[in-house]
Chains A and B, each alone.
Chain A
């Protein structure tokens, strides 16, 4: 069959043009096969990465029509049949070196930053560490990562904050935080780091990473697991105080933790989100008070709820009892040890 591709060409990573190539390929051809044909038959200077050709090595991440794919895992036939001419470009959020080749160094720097190895020194059973099969459910998806960068390419938060650790590094972090062979000292130290600037609370839950990952790692779910463990193991100011409202002077406050805590507290108290508490408890009462023009704009539009008239759900006693019951069950489970299978998080 005949395949036509528009390819974003960039000899130096700075300037670029879009060139159109038509090549003859077998019906079973992937995007990578089509690129090989272009390089072989049309222009030998076309640059792209490849190695295994079977979605294992993670080399051939690139964008097709603006979305990251593995070239070797993308069949051409459906596009040809639909008469569609795809545009092929390099991955996003990483500097372009040439054509479809990006500089992966910023990606690897973030992987290194999360210490991608097991730390077992303080584990009571360090002489005989076994990962129970049931515990694999906690890190099974994360362990599938081939570090192709497709998730990072699409991360909306990273477009805005290039220093955000991002989906690949955070999924890698969960692969170790959630491993029962990791000792608790290391686990707490990791969680403390991940709750800082550019950490898990930078994630905007756009779900592009889950959507694009070619291996089913679901990095957003991994980030949610890290948040759950923050709440399970964190206390007081260890990972950032849980509210910004009456935090003692000098306390480190992680606004992301505080924000989530307001949701938890307000649902068990009244069923609904307490909007009047959300701003001061997340950013602090002083910062909230200083942002008067913003508050006035909202008030003028009728968007500031009356703090004296809380919106309460009917029969919310059920939710209060539910909260107490679940917390008691969680305490009981936690007594079984940090790594008991009942503490496996599932954010699917």
Chain B
């Protein structure tokens, strides 16, 4: 983990998922990590612009990468799976194809934007804190044990696949979230759908198809006895949280599983206050029992002590 990152929260954490942004900032402050704003950042284009207007997508992402470079910061920190894939995909193309890099830079220069020389890396928060120095730093700040909390990890797609663009861990049996859940003192629940799709990209255009996907992790996590699901992606979060009541109707069964952002789980273990973690900004509210486990006063005895 580095001491300084160019911070790219993306659209959702800047808009409807503000609790992810505030939790990330609070956790990074505890980790001793400085987050430097990319002042002129835009949307990465998500899968939509990548699909519909691939050249516009490439330029949008090159412009973001160029802004980090202009700050003299070699690594962009992301907190969303889709942003991670988009930025890494564009980055790989620009690094590998000097002709494309030259063409894109010509266009960026023509409109007065910062150009890009191809020297920036894009890393998700999950990767930075789940191994090496970042993991050691996290264990040091994880002063409040979440013992007794049963957490179902949900990875989401675009932090695992395609592995030739992401490649942090085995996409079929990832362990990074489990490692962090255990470092928080909580118990990681295993279930089949943890690497599958939440359906979010098509939840507006094809709601029924998307709900059929969202039901799988929700039902499996609940059946496995999870208190909460934790995800590194704000889109997965929105799908599993905001659409959960519709998923219940679709499945014809109760689900009622609160969904946490990764930074909220880390923040709870680091003793960060509720007003920064903002659990109340979730559609599926935490039960008082789960809230007690997450926000237990530092050093307080845990159940069974």
Contact = CB atoms under 8 A, between A and B. Distances in A.
Contacts of A272: 11, 14-15, 42-43
B41 interface: yes
A263 B161 contact: no
A210 interface: yes
Interface string B40-79: 1111011111111111100110010000000000000000
B40 A315 contact: yes
B264 to A, nearest CB: 14
B111 A267 contact: no
A82 interface: no
Contacts, number: 218
A151 interface: no
Q: Interface size class for chain A?
A: 35 or more
A81 interface: no
Contacts of A254: 205
B54 A326 contact: no
Contacts of B275: none
Given A201-B202, A228-B54, A325-B110, A206 B42 contact: no
Given A65-B172, A159-B213, A318-B40, A259 B280 contact: no
A33 interface: no
Given A297-B245, A322-B108, A302 B281 contact: yes
A255 B45 CA distance: 17
Interface in B194-246: 196-197, 199-202, 204-213, 238, 242, 245-246
A275 B13 CA distance: 12
A145 to B, nearest CB: 17
Given A256-B206, A259-B205, A273-B15, A318 B112 contact: yes
Contact of B206 (A201, A263, A264, A313): A201
Contact of A205 (B12, B112, B157, B196): B157
B41 A311 contact: no
Chain B facing A: main interface SS: helix
Contacts of B280: 301-302
A164 interface: yes
A264 B48 contact: yes
A71 B161 CA distance: 22
A304 interface: yes
B162 A157 contact: no
B255 to A, nearest CB: 14
Given A204-B199, A311-B15, 11 more contacts: A205-B47, A205-B197, A207-B158, A256-B205, A257-B52, A264-B52, A266-B43, A315-B113, A322-B59, A322-B111, A326-B59
Interface of B: 11-12, 14-18, 39-43, 45-56, 59-60, 63, 89, 93, 107-108, 110-113, 157-158, 161-163, 171-172, 192, 196-197, 199-202, 204-213, 238, 242, 245-246, 280-283
